[in-house]
Amino acid sequence: MEELTPRQVLERLVAFPTVSRDSNLALVDWLEGYLTGHGIECHRHWNEDRQKAALMAHAGPRVEGAVVLSGHSDVVPVDGQDWTTDPWTVVERNGRLYGRGTCDMKGYVALSIWALVRAQKMGVRRPVQLALSYDEEVGCTGAPPMIETMGKVLPKGAAALIGEPSNMKIITGHKGGTGFHVHVKGFEVHSSLLPYGVSAIMEGARLIGWVNDRNAEIQAREPTPIAATFYPPFTTLHVGMISGGTAHNITAADCRFAVEMRVVPGEDVEAHARTFEAEAARMDALLRAQRPEAGVHLERFFGVPALVPEADGEAEAIARRLTGDNATGVVSYGTEAGQFQEAGYSAIVCGPGDIAQAHQPDEYLEVSEFEAGQRFMERLLAECA
């Protein structure tokens, strides 16, 4: 089978419109065919309705300790965005590669695929694995089951390099997070009869008040040394949207809002989630006691662990040797790195491109960044040889 250049792989990947809401199987079918055609072992992890699959691949000797190159196959939609080029075709202009996903993160994925084929052909001593997930853009929900499957079907890897755009800088920490859709159910009466009904809005306001109190309590504490490297240096809880009510003189039957938490490394995302769930349950009991129709319902919509900076982490050491970057960086966006770390891998984030271009119309990756990414992979291959 013909060996494609990184640029040719990128062109193939961008041509598959793998928006998170749609199937990614056309891309996975092509990629599995391409990799197996080069003698590389591949496995799939399917989602529940089998409309999407993660692809895991292993190049080199079938032993533990691989370097794992990790990326996501899905991209955000282009609906309503003003593009001056076809988003599903890579167009080079003024030293930039335009196209949906070039930056976030098919550029890195293309380089990883190229590196795996090279590793297989060279006959490396240390194996290199590819972990390509789905549903990253809808809350990193695809990676945990993929990582679990990967541990069963492939020799366990050691260091995971997650290529989210960081301008090839090494990111050793990021916040974790979770979110809840909240539905407060009230009971409608005329507002003149207020004590006999339940206003979902007024009760919802109490829960939002609790969120404000939590923020004040958290921010009053001295930040830990890890937290102090973040901006802002603490966990934040946020309500970003709210709806409810039908008229000024009717107690609201419904109030809906979303609570999102961004949790600094060193604090447990699940512990923050449980604290909120306990408060919602307490309010739920109070409202039910007033009217059986009333209550508080929660729906969790994502949960991502923080990436904790590691003391003497192997992923960081590898990335430092490959990039020469000696600085440490943290970011406030979540990635799959925290999920790999939670599963026992050493993990960092390092990839070509600027996160500012992610999700934008006319998304692009600088050619110079793509080339820096290729040098990174070439050095990795030399190290694994």
Nearest distance from C-beta of residue 303 to Zn ion, angstroms? 17
Shorter beta-carbon distance to Zn ion: residue 164 or 284: 164
What is the C-alpha to C-alpha distance for residues 318 and 159, in angstroms, rounded to an integer? 8
**363 part of the interface to Zn ion, by CB under 5 A:** no
Shorter beta-carbon distance to Zn ion: residue 103 or 280: 103
Shorter beta-carbon distance to Zn ion: residue 72 or 272: 72
Nearest distance from C-beta of residue 43 to Zn ion, angstroms? 22
Nearest distance from C-beta of residue 347 to Zn ion, angstroms? 15
**Could you give the 3-state DSSP secondary structure of residue 117?**
helix
Interface residue with Zn ion, options 66, 87, 102, 104 (CB under 5 A):
104
Nearest distance from C-beta of residue 104 to Zn ion, angstroms? 4
Nearest distance from C-beta of residue 349 to Zn ion, angstroms? 10
Interface residue with Zn ion, options 53, 59, 75, 105 (CB under 5 A):
105
Nearest distance from C-beta of residue 140 to Zn ion, angstroms? 9
Nearest distance from C-beta of residue 108 to Zn ion, angstroms? 9
Q: How far is CA 183 from CA 14, 68, 191, 258, in A?
A: 39, 40, 21, 9
Select from 74-82, 96-104, 219-227, 238-246 the region that touches Zn ion (CB under 5 A): 96-104
Select from 98-106, 155-163, 301-309, 348-356 the region that touches Zn ion (CB under 5 A): 98-106
The pair of structure tokens assigned to 51 is: 């409309």
Per-residue contact string for residues 111-150; x = within reach of Zn ion by CB under 5 A: ----------------------------------------
Comparing every residue's Cβ against Zn ion, the nearest one is: 104
DSSP assignment letter at 47? -
Shorter beta-carbon distance to Zn ion: residue 164 or 188: 164
- Within positions 153 to 212, which residues make up the interface with Zn ion, using CB under 5 A? 164
Shorter beta-carbon distance to Zn ion: residue 102 or 235: 102
Residue 235, strand partner residues: none
CA atoms within 13 A on the CB side of 248: 0
Number of residues that bind Zn ion (CB under 5 A): 3
What is the C-alpha to C-alpha distance for residues 87 and 298, in angstroms, rounded to an integer? 37
- For residues 105 and 351, the answer to whether their CB atoms sit within 8 Å is yes
Give every strand in the sheet of 295-304, ordered side by side. Answer: 236-244, 254-263, 176-185, 295-304
Nearest distance from C-beta of residue 103 to Zn ion, angstroms? 9
Per-residue contact string for residues 235-274; x = within reach of Zn ion by CB under 5 A: ----------------------------------------
Give one DSSP letter per residue of 295-352, joined into a string. EEEEEEEEEEPPBPPPTT-HHHHHHHHHH-----EEESS--THHHHHHTT-EEEE--S
Amino acid at 35: L
**Strands of the chain, DSSP E:** 41-46, 53-59, 67-72, 91-93, 96-98, 128-133, 159-162, 171-174, 176-185, 236-244, 254-263, 295-304, 329-331, 346-349, 364-366
Shorter beta-carbon distance to Zn ion: residue 235 or 357: 357
- For residues 270 and 181, the answer to whether their CB atoms sit within 8 Å is no
Select from 8-16, 105-113, 176-184, 224-232 the region that touches Zn ion (CB under 5 A): 105-113
Select from 83-91, 97-105, 230-238, 252-260 the region that touches Zn ion (CB under 5 A): 97-105
Nearest distance from C-beta of residue 28 to Zn ion, angstroms? 17
Q: How far is CA 297 from CA 180, 282, 283, 285, in A?
A: 10, 12, 10, 11
Amino acid at 333: Y
Classify residue 149 as left (phi > 0), alpha (psi -120 to 50) or beta. Answer: alpha
Nearest distance from C-beta of residue 13 to Zn ion, angstroms? 13
| 202 sits in which H/E element | helix 200-220
What residues line the site for Zn ion (CB under 5 A)? Answer: 104-105, 164
